[in-house]
Chain A
Amino acid sequence: MGSEEHWEPKILAFLCNWCSYAGADLAGTSRVQYSPNIRVIRVPCSGRINPLFILKALQGGVDGVLVSGCHPGDCHYLSGNYAGRRKSATLKRFLEFLGIEQGRIQFSWVSAAEGVKFSQVVDEVTKDIRRLGPLKKFKKSSAFGVQSSES
């Protein structure tokens, strides 16, 4: 976290086990460099993403979220990424409508062979979020979060 001046974006990435996580692995083994701002959570499928995960992450202190899964047609579970795509599209539009800036939540298709694309996606997302600055809306104001309702 650090102070405002030394702020570095903190980005949570949900990567599907079969494609994007393997893509990230490939980026690593191929020694492709990318921004160190992401923290990865491996999920079975991009269709597994519950919108609550994304909201909880934003509330808990990340500045942006990336969800990445298999390309259309490549889903290990045949259609998980298609189902996820609808949830993602509606959630993204809804949060933007509420005023969460465009770019805070991003989505990508990265296959197991696309180590380079993975690094590019991460760099782009990091750049976008760096431009947006720290997320202030919605984030819990402190570790305590709660103020007494009387004051």
Chain B
Amino acid sequence: MMFNLDKKDFDHFLKDLLETHDLFAPVQLTEGVSVFKKIDNPGEVSLSQLVPQKSAKEVFFPQSEVMFRYQIAGNQGPTVSEQKIERERILLGARPCDIEAISIIEKVFTGEDYTDVYFAEKRKRTTIIGLGCNHPLSTCFCSSTGGGPFNRAGSDLFFTDLGDAYFVELLTEKGMAFRVNKFFKEADSEDLGLMKEIEDKASQKVDRTVPVEGIEKRLDLMVESPFWDRAHEKCIGCGVCTFLCPTCHCFDITDEAVNQKGQRVRNWDSCLFPIYSLETSGHNPRPTGRERTRQRLMHKFNYYPKNFGRVACVGCGRCILYCPVQFDIREALVYASAKRGKGRKGKFK
């Protein structure tokens, strides 16, 4: 089902949503820096930055999340309270790459044997409104990883920016709940044509040549490759790429307590931090940048594919854009391929 939402009505549309839902959308913190956050009024929403620093994973898997709180009173055992999600949620303005990434994390968090209730509950209660990318960046390579700037997979509703209006598609049952909305007008063929035109143009722009296909097999042969001795050299071991990555999902669990009150919190963690795998005995199974860089890349392109049948990278380009030393994941992939005589000729800096 297709509609047209006039941009003049956009704020009112959001305002109505806020009545009934918790709304999450990109918010600009300062010029050039935005993140996904819960918003209180429509004016906060800022869709101008194509890839906000923090991805939409934060809506389902916040960087800091209280798992439960407790209080000990007298001799009684602790009373433990968990946080409940009160209202239905909407994620607005997430790009196809981020939405794809949510399904990647979902596979881990709702596995066959154990379900992560914190993630699963939020996922279940969230309607996703995707937004197509009219102007993909030169660092975008979603089309190489199986997605695209207008990939609708995972979106319940999908918006395309037509200039003065949004072209609205209802894609799933959750999305169909919006078919009666006073701000949605029937889309005409002109809208549809324009949308197609924008989609085609954007799709042509995205880099399709990053050699992702077959990478799992190639990396199988590269576990002890000298490539890793070089690849990690310039990595300074910060957590930018992993924290900003929409598919990275490692976390740490710690207790925070003051006297009789406390909470168990989980925080994002990064495989590039030495302390991540450091054992209490002092033994570190991944002692240097070599093993840690290998872990990061192998997890995305070898380990995850082995377990779930696709690469854990959606080509959003955040790790390229924000890396302090320009570690370029695309070039790492090119290098890994070129050595076996396929793809672009690679050299790795």
Contact = CB atoms under 8 A, between A and B. Distances in A.
Judge A-B direct contact (beta carbons within 8 Å). yes
Interface of A: 143-151
Interface in B249-294: 256, 258-259, 261-263, 265
B64 A149 contact: yes
B256 A144 contact: yes
A145 B256 CA distance: 9
Nearest to A61: B258
The interface residues of chain A, by DSSP majority, are classed as loop
Contact of A148 (B24, B64, B258, B259): B64
Contact of A144 (B37, B58, B63, B263): B263
B300 interface: no
A147 B256 CA distance: 12
B6 interface: no
A143 B64 contact: no
Contact of B62 (A144, A145, A148): A148
11 contacts: A143-B258, A143-B261, A145-B258, A147-B64, A148-B62, A148-B65, A148-B83, A149-B65, A150-B24, A150-B38, A150-B62
B18 to A, nearest CB: 14
Contacts of A143: 258-259, 261-262
Interface string B56-87: 00110011111001000000000000010000
A146 B265 contact: yes
A128 B155 CA distance: 59
A132 B58 CA distance: 39
The 9 nearest A-B residue pairs measured at CB: A150-B62, A143-B258, A149-B64, A143-B261, A149-B63, A149-B62, A151-B38, A148-B62, A148-B65
Given A144-B69, A144-B263, A150 B37 contact: yes
A146 B256 contact: yes
Contacts of B37: 150
A145 B258 CA distance: 9
B263 A146 contact: yes
Contacts of B265: 146
